[in-house]
Structure formats: C-alpha cells, structure tokens
C-alpha cells in the first residue's frame, strides 16, 4: 500500500483505489491511530491518503490567511473528494471538531466507514448521523483496517 502524506501531492495510477484516513489528530495531541492502521495494510494494493503531517507545529494559526494552514485544509478536502473510501476514527478523549465537520461533508457520499468507540465526547451525535445516513460502523481500529483492506481488494476504478 502506498501512503501519501500531507502535503505530498496525491496521485493515482489507473485503476488504483484510494482511501482517506479521517479522524482525531487534535493539532497533534491525539494518539497516532494512523500509525496503527497503516502497518496493518502493508500488503494491500492501493493508496492511503494520510493527513497527519510529520512536521506540524501546533503553534501555527488556524487561519485561512496562513499559507501552510490553507494548504493543509485544501489538501484534505481534495483528498477526501478523490477517495473512494473515507475511514473515520474518533479517538476516545479527543474532541476532533474538524473530523466532525468532515463526517458531515462525507455523510451523503456513500464513501464513509466510521469507528467511534465509547469515550468520544460526541459519540451520540456520530451514532445518530451514521444511522440516519446508513454509514457503516465498526468497533475498533482493527475492524477499520479490515474495511480499508476489503475496499482496496475490490476491483474497479476510483475517482482520482
């Protein structure tokens, strides 16, 4: 599995499937759940788009006029739109307001799968949105990795 990490320009080869890892980052203070998922998908074919930057400074302003911030948000929006699967993880103890926003953007696309364990502060909201829109839910990170693996193993084209 190829991993494209922000801010690398995402590119797909013909017929390559892409998944986006949406979830708790909280300016780098949340558990690196992406670091748990990615090794579990090593033998898979496809592309994972990971928004967690290796070099992110939480002191950078979350302001549209700050070029690095704008680049990050635009990268995430483009990567979500191009992905055929958006895998959401809401970490217990995190707030992840951007992930809530991203779930709202993805809810009607049919591309989302969600892992929202007990302990996430707005789990009730996430559960109701998932039920309302028929979004698949899984119980843990291992099951989320299984969903990504199944998606990448299927045939067909993914928008690029």
Every domain of the chain and the residues it spans: 2-53+61-153
Q: Coil, strand, or helix at residue 150?
A: helix
pLDDT digits (tens, 9 = 90+) for 119-146: 999 999 999 999 999 999 999 999 999 9
Q: Which CATH architecture has domain 2-53+61-153?
A: 3-Layer(aba) Sandwich (3.40)
DSSP symbol at 131: H
159: confidence class by pLDDT, cuts 50, 70, 90:
very low
Question: What is the reported pLDDT for 98?
Answer: 94
Higher pLDDT, 50 or 157: 50
Residues 144/86, Cβ–Cβ less than 8 Å:
no
157: confidence class by pLDDT, cuts 50, 70, 90:
very low
Asked whether the predicted pLDDT for residue 158 surpasses 50, the reply is no
pLDDT digits (tens, 9 = 90+) for 28-87: 667 788 888 999 898 888 899 999 888 888 889 999 999 999 999 999 999 999 999 999
Higher pLDDT, 108 or 46: 108
Close Cβ partners of 1 (under 8 Å, ≥ 6 residues apart):
38, 41, 42, 43, 44, 45, 46, 47, 48, 152
pTM of the model: 0.91
Phi, psi of 85 (to 5 degrees): -140, 135
């Amino acid at each position: 599995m190829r991993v494209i990490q922000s801010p690398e320009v995402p590119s797909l080869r013909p017929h390559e499937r892409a998944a986006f890892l949406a979830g708790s980052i909280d300016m780098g203070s949340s558990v690196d759940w992406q670091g748990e998922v990615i090794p579990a998908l090593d033998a898979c074919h496809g592309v994972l788009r990971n928004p967690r930057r290796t070099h992110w400074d939480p002191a950078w302003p979350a302001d549209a006029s700050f070029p690095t911030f704008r680049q990050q948000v635009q990268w995430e929006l483009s990567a979500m739109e191009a992905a055929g699967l958006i895998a959401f993880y809401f970490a217990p103890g995190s707030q992840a307001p951007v992930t809530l926003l991203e779930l709202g953007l993805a809810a009607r696309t049919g591309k989302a799968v969600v892992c929202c364990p007990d302990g996430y502060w707005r789990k009730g909201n996430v559960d109701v949105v998932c039920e309302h829109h028929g979004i698949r839910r899984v119980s843990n990170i291992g099951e989320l990795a299984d969903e990504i693996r199944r998606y990448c193993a299927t045939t067909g084209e993914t928008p690029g």
